[in-house]
Chains A and B, each alone.
Chain A
């Protein structure tokens, strides 16, 4: 283990002045020189599109890439609930400091103070920006913006656009980026997937892409590269992420030297529609906002698990979140709610379809809310979510309680970045869910949209400029050798995938098996022996994958099977690192519940003496032998306390 300590480059001084001071200390590029610099942005969801639009407006030459057929399809679009901002429009005592504190506490004190404060500080400007772009946030009859309270917060600071907040914010960013495409500052490529980084020594100077329509491999050189490629929940196969979401861009960057931070911090969202059958392709999230009005319950007695919900009398129901956490009730943070649901189902009190011999589901009941507020009020708030639920399950939630079960939803881990959002590779930045910053070991609701847009609209434009100002524009023709070598490397990987010696199993089949291993050992509860066993299983299955993966069709044309196989291959390596990280962290914190480190009541027992650090892993050339670097966290303004939502 190395003694080297990672430098976060976080500024010193009073917390509220750090970002201002840092901006002042950052260098800028004069407007006349900006077009001489090329910035590559990979991924065009909230973080990528907002970064591309903002950098384009400044005058840089921006090149963007996404694997979807349009930037408007990025998975940010599926975020339902809302976006936090410390506007204090409700006069209920909110402030930047409170949003900062809630976020750092919600993350169970495993995030950097400087970063989280900056996020809270920028939150208000995001709302201003979005409203000016025409994002139709919910409004009160007065014409002013409406707010609601959202998971884990005791103030109403969440801005929302019905259940489609992510969609509306993404369209705002996409439209701003479209404007820059017309202006000529942004050049965009859809259906084009990053295969690898191009390096000049220790510096990132471009990427290799595969055109998903023609199969052609191309190199693109730039002065710096920004990865906004989202999270890696799909390592679990079943998750709430879109099917195409993948870790390939950040994983290839990791293998080129970027440290990967806290890979085991994966958020399990409590309110998802339970799995119905074995061939199910994905899980669907029901917005956490539903917990504002829905009451979570399960039968008190195992014997009632087979009954219909209306046959279970009121005093036979266990409203377990309200019972266990009287002050927060149904609004406890996601990790706590998820574990409580798992506990109830493990006791045999789950309801709904049986998967592998266990009923995995509890009720989320709106009967009281409908009685108190009226059907129309509930329809106004959640209409589209209820419709979606009914579509998938063929049950009407206005009549019968919803069934919910936790599912993998978001990954707090990601590429390690410093305060400038630069990874440990010079010239390689990461924004949005692709980086590890801000959320610690658990993300609060309505914080993902906030972080993606803070990174894209406000932070990256400042820090990328600072980086570029320190470098002369590159001369692309000097790097042809590096570009060709990277293309060759990508080509040989594809050739290997296409020609497995004993091709007989599909990539999806392997992916399902991998997902099951991860979910069992590195899901809601983790334990040393099962993690060790999972690592062995992952290694064995990975070897089998390279022997047996079967891909039909050609590599030189559109080939979705090849695309998927490439992503699964990377998940196989990342999955092992997730388990190794979970194994290293001998404590429970946030989403990470080590069975050896829980209180008798099943609550997480953090170990600040030994584990108050960011675990940043370096690829050593052998996937199974990564090197751990620790970035110790210092809390100068808040005192890490035991999270208590009772």
Chain B
């Protein structure tokens, strides 16, 4: 299958970016990133700089890969990451536009790579249960209803990729924050810290993310299908704490 690719190139945070056109031939069993690997091999052999993009596990769990493909973060196949997009999903698209996440809080480092350390700093502001190694009690001392544990798990599956931010017209990280709050504050061992929602939201604002105004686009593109009901849950906790 022959594709016309338009790829975002940008040689650094302050450089001006532009779309560069390439033509590639890819088999349908090739993953989207393997298609880019092949393009890069050819660029290197031609003496040109390959396209920089983030990736690691290539099985949809590490959260490294992050491309906007034809306007949609992670591409058209829902509920999965960029690395799990296969060219067979695109056989009806002759032209592909590939861009980085775009948000003030995620500055471009190079080409398709952005800086997502803002997410780490949000977690550092209170996205943990403060238990010191060695001080934990016996694990079965505290039974947790299966339903509660399952709910916490659903929120805990967030991979911190940032697609929610990339798609949001406000570039808000509310879904990311809410997922962490819902994961920890749903569990009995995480309920002691009543200030968690306020701390995380404050950190989010300081990093330059916008606020939530209920577009719900985030839920649509989340590769782990984190629900916006987590935001409701967080808001409830937020106002109860005060």
Contacts and interface: CB of A to CB of B under 8 A. Distances in A.
Interface of A: 50, 53-54, 57, 68-75, 77-78, 87, 89, 125, 127-134, 136-145, 161-162, 164, 167-168, 171, 174-176, 178-179, 181-182, 188, 190, 213, 242-244, 276-277, 279-282, 284-285, 388, 391-392, 394, 457-458, 461, 504, 506, 508-509, 550-553, 557-558, 560-561
Interface stretch (B1-9, B135-143, B209-217, B232-240): B135-143
Nearest to B38: A279
B124 to A, nearest CB: 4
Interface in B87-144: 88, 109-110, 113, 115-117, 119-120, 123-125, 127-140, 142-144
B21 interface: no
B165 interface: no
Contacts of B49: 552-553
Contacts of A161: 153, 156
A558 B52 contact: yes
Nearest to B142: A131
Contacts of B30: 277, 279
Contacts of A282: 58-59
Contacts of B144: 139, 143
Given A136-B156, A179-B124, A391-B80, A128 B138 contact: yes
Contacts of A138: 149
Given A136-B153, A175-B129, A242-B62, A561 B145 contact: no
B140 A281 contact: no
B77 to A, nearest CB: 8
Given A391-B80, A558-B110, A70 B57 contact: no
Given A128-B138, A552-B44, A171 B124 contact: no
Contacts of A50: 133
Nearest to A73: B62
A166 to B, nearest CB: 8
A557 B13 CA distance: 12
A391 to B, nearest CB: 5
B189 interface: yes
A643 B57 CA distance: 34
Nearest to A509: B41
Given A557-B12, A558-B52, A277 B29 contact: yes
B33 interface: yes
B32 to A, nearest CB: 11
Contacts of B135: 132
Interface string B135-170: 111111011111001101100110110000000000
Contacts of B146: 139-141, 143
Contacts, number: 210
B230 interface: no
A129 B119 contact: no
Interface centre among B52, B86, B123, B137 (most CB of A within 10 A): B123
Given A54-B133, A552-B43, A552-B47, A139 B58 contact: no
A561 B44 contact: yes
Contact of A281 (B45, B58, B130): B58
Nearest to B48: A552
Contact of B110 (A129, A140, A557): A557
B187 A70 contact: no
Contact of A132 (B48, B110, B137): B137
A550 B49 CA distance: 11
A229 B35 CA distance: 29
Interface centre among A125, A168, A560 (most CB of B within 10 A): A560
A179 B128 contact: yes
A54 B134 CA distance: 9
B60 interface: yes
Contact of B189 (A134, A168, A457, A553): A134
A133 B132 CA distance: 9
A508 B37 contact: yes
Interface in B21-42: 27, 29-31, 33-34, 37-38, 40-41
Contacts of A72: 63, 120, 160
B208 interface: no
B152 A276 contact: no
Contact of A558 (B37, B113, B124, B187): B113
A521 B29 CA distance: 28
A547 B195 CA distance: 59
Contacts of A213: 109
Given A161-B153, A190-B117, A550-B45, A145 B56 contact: no
Contacts of A175: 123, 127-129
A177 to B, nearest CB: 9
Given A178-B128, A550-B44, A557-B110, A461 B133 contact: yes
A178 B153 contact: no
B62 A145 contact: no
Contacts of A132: 129, 131, 135-137, 139, 189
